[in-house]
Amino acid sequence: MGLRVGIVGYGLAGRYFHAPLLKGCGFEVAAIATTNEIRHGHAQEDFPGVKVVPTSEELVKERLDLVVVASANIAHAHDALSAINAGIPVVIDKPMGRTHAETKAIIDAGLKAEIPISTFFNRRWDSNALTIKRILASGVLGQIHRMESRFERFRPQLNTQSWRENMSAADGGGQLLDLQTHLISTAIDWFGSAELVMSSVRSLRGGADDDSVLVLRHIDGMMSYLSASAVVGAPGPCTRILGSQGALVIHDLDPQEDLLRSGKYPMGGTWAVPTASKAFIHRGNEIEEIVGENGNYALFYSAIGDAIEGKAPWPIDTNDVLLVAKLIDQARANSL
């Protein structure tokens, strides 16, 4: 059998992201914590015989090699500390904490207990991110001066059943702690450390923040423009990178989220279907389609498995996690 893992929370993140990726990478899902009766049924349907318990405190009593915290943001710190105090390595769905202070407290607790922790910055392994890293390494775009990255959708009606759309920022709601986390994480992965230049964080639908733009300046002076919004009737391309010798444009996300939501998973840690987005290099009126990389979120959990067994380092640097949290705090505090 593979490494034994317990999952705290079995909603969207737990059921449709973490569980299938863990299964695909050979982990044994041994326990799931949820108090929701419907999700209790989902857990037993997906993993017959799995032990379902109500709390993270009960979950960590099981013999586990890893705990995955996929609960609501308001519970991340509590559930992560349950695992750390039990001496079990832990992966926390993004964001690790609701604030920089909470994030640092979790990381410090792990360091003090000598228990490794990581955050699920899975978008670093989607097709767009892997293609961008390849193109940047090639130098074909010349000197990069601007990057635009977006999660723009058109959902004008507030979903009253979604805690993300209704909870206050203090309780972990809003897109700044959701989609912007991915945008910042990938930006600093591609272009290095950054500082906040400007931010606009708004609520357009009357619930939690649902429209934000952040402008970052990276260490080499390159600028990133990051947009996350639920009220965009004409979404822009997912990513546009501008350089002195051309521009890279990727219009759409890869299909991994849709595949996971449909019940599919990367068996053996590899997708059986293509997962590449179309990508284009523009040089004025000249447009060249290039081959995109196949995305694979399972690479994150393959790396986690290797790290637990001492074969490789943990895949996400906690300095990146702290920087993302710091920039989110600053964006909220300094919003126009």
Q: Residue 154 contacts by C-beta under 8 Å, 6 or more apart in sequence?
A: 230, 231, 232, 233, 235
* CATH 3.30.360.10 fits domain 123-296+315-333: yes
Domain positions in the chain: 4-122, 123-296+315-333
Residues 227 and 237: beta-carbon distance below 8 Å = no
Cβ atoms 185, 320 nearer than 8 A:
yes
Distance CA 212, CA 125 (A): 24
Please provide the CATH number assigned to the domain covering 4-122.
3.40.50.720
Q: 263 has which bridge partners? A: none
In order, the DSSP letters of 37-55 are HHHHHHHHHHSTT-EEESS
pLDDT tens, position by position, for the chain (336 residues)?
Answer: 689 999 999 999 999 999 999 999 999 999 999 999 999 999 999 999 999 999 999 999 999 999 999 999 999 999 999 999 999 999 999 999 999 999 999 999 999 999 999 999 999 999 999 999 999 999 999 999 999 999 999 999 999 889 999 999 999 999 999 999 999 999 999 999 999 999 999 999 999 999 999 999 999 999 999 999 999 999 999 999 999 999 999 999 999 999 999 999 999 999 999 999 999 999 999 999 999 999 999 999 999 999 999 999 999 999 999 999 999 999 999 999
